[in-house]
Amino acid sequence: MELTVYLAGQIHDNWRDILKNEASDLNLPLTFVGPMENHDRSDNIGEEILGKQPNNIFKDEAASAINNLRTEILMNKSDVVIALFGDKYKQWNTAMDASRAIEKGKPLILVRPETLHHPLKELSNKAQVVVETPQQALQALSYVFS
């Protein structure tokens, strides 16, 4: 049995690479998917495909349509979702992806530093598992195979 894991959340550090490496070291049968991690390309993908838009709002609308296409396709293919919240940025799309996972019946593992527990309390309550580090999320997944 193999599982596909969607890695939602911030794209400003290399937490996904660390997670993938550890999973590989443990020989876990996991395939990881997730959003575009190149921030500039993610912001510009609308204009890359559709050309120059009238203003920044429409540039954002064009980009987000294609980013959401990616998320929809890949999350539909996933068995479980890990969503990581960090200290910076508003990360509303992470919250959106986490909630989407819950409503689609995909079990959600939420990763957040303890300092964020208060603003994330309603989302934490709906997540299947809440941990503080990506390593703990991987431990939870490895438990499925043990």
Separation of first and last alpha carbons in the chain: 12
**Nearest distance in Å: CB 79, its own copies:** 6
97 binds its own copies (CB under 8 A): yes
Among 7, 19, 30, 95, binds its own copies (CB under 8 A): 95
Residue 108, strand partner residues: 81
**Nearest distance in Å: CB 21, its own copies:** 19
Among 6, 30, 120, 134, binds its own copies (CB under 8 A): 120
Residue 114, strand partner residues: none
143 binds its own copies (CB under 8 A): yes
**Cα–Cα distance for residue pair 138/62, rounded to 1 Å:** 34
105 binds its own copies (CB under 8 A): yes
Site string for its own copies, 50-89 (x = CB under 8 A): x---xxxxx-xx-xxxxxxxxxxxx-xx-xx----x---x
**Cα–Cα distance for residue pair 44/60, rounded to 1 Å:** 8
Q: Which stretch binds its own copies (CB under 8 A): 9-17, 20-28, 92-100?
A: 92-100
**Cα–Cα distance for residue pair 13/55, rounded to 1 Å:** 29
3-state secondary structure 88-119: CCCCHHHHHHHHHHHHCCCCEEEECCHHHCCC
**Cα–Cα distance for residue pair 69/28, rounded to 1 Å:** 28
**Nearest distance in Å: CB 13, its own copies:** 18
**Nearest distance in Å: CB 49, its own copies:** 5
**Nearest distance in Å: CB 130, its own copies:** 8
